[in-house]
Amino acid sequence: MAGAPYAAAVIACMDGRFREAVDYFVDETFGTKNVDVLFVPGASLPLVIGERAAANLWDGLQLAYDKHAVRRVIILEHEDCGKYAAQGIKARNAAEDRANHQSVARKAEALLRERFPGVVVEASYLTLAFVAEVGRKRARRSA
């Protein structure tokens, strides 16, 4: 490994509505430190359901662990995820949606800790309101 260890690996959904919010989160949390960001439909959901996309995600996380000395993984789940709906994980309201994501993230955290001992795993849930706030903050900064 060349250079300092990376600050973290971030697992996020590929949903373009949340891309700016993910970038903002990474910038605000880590500043100029190196971070591996892994985008996959459903964020941590593929790890839990064992879907085909999980293999690529595991490969990326293994690389981050081995080559970049990542010892912190952050899962960024988000509101209104199409992957959850496609898997039949429905929510009647925002609270149920958040609870569904938190349940999946907890399962993913356990899998990550089992596979990568000593890694700190954290999860956050991004909302569409947060996306709007990030847009307003970035607009003010560039004005």
Phi, psi of 65 (to 5 degrees): -70, -50
Phi-psi region of 124 (alpha: psi -120 to 50; beta: other; left: phi over 0): beta
**Position 76 pLDDT exceeds 90:** yes
pTM to 2 decimals? Answer: 0.91
| pLDDT exceeds cutoff 90 at 31 | no
Residues 6+ apart with CB under 8 A from 82: 15, 41
**Tokens matching residue 84:** 């959850």
Mean pLDDT, to the nearest integer, of 48-56?
88
Name the CATH superfamily, with its identifier, for domain 8-134.
Carbonic anhydrase (3.40.1050.10)
pLDDT at 138 over 90: no
pLDDT at 128: 92
Domain boundaries, the chain: 8-134
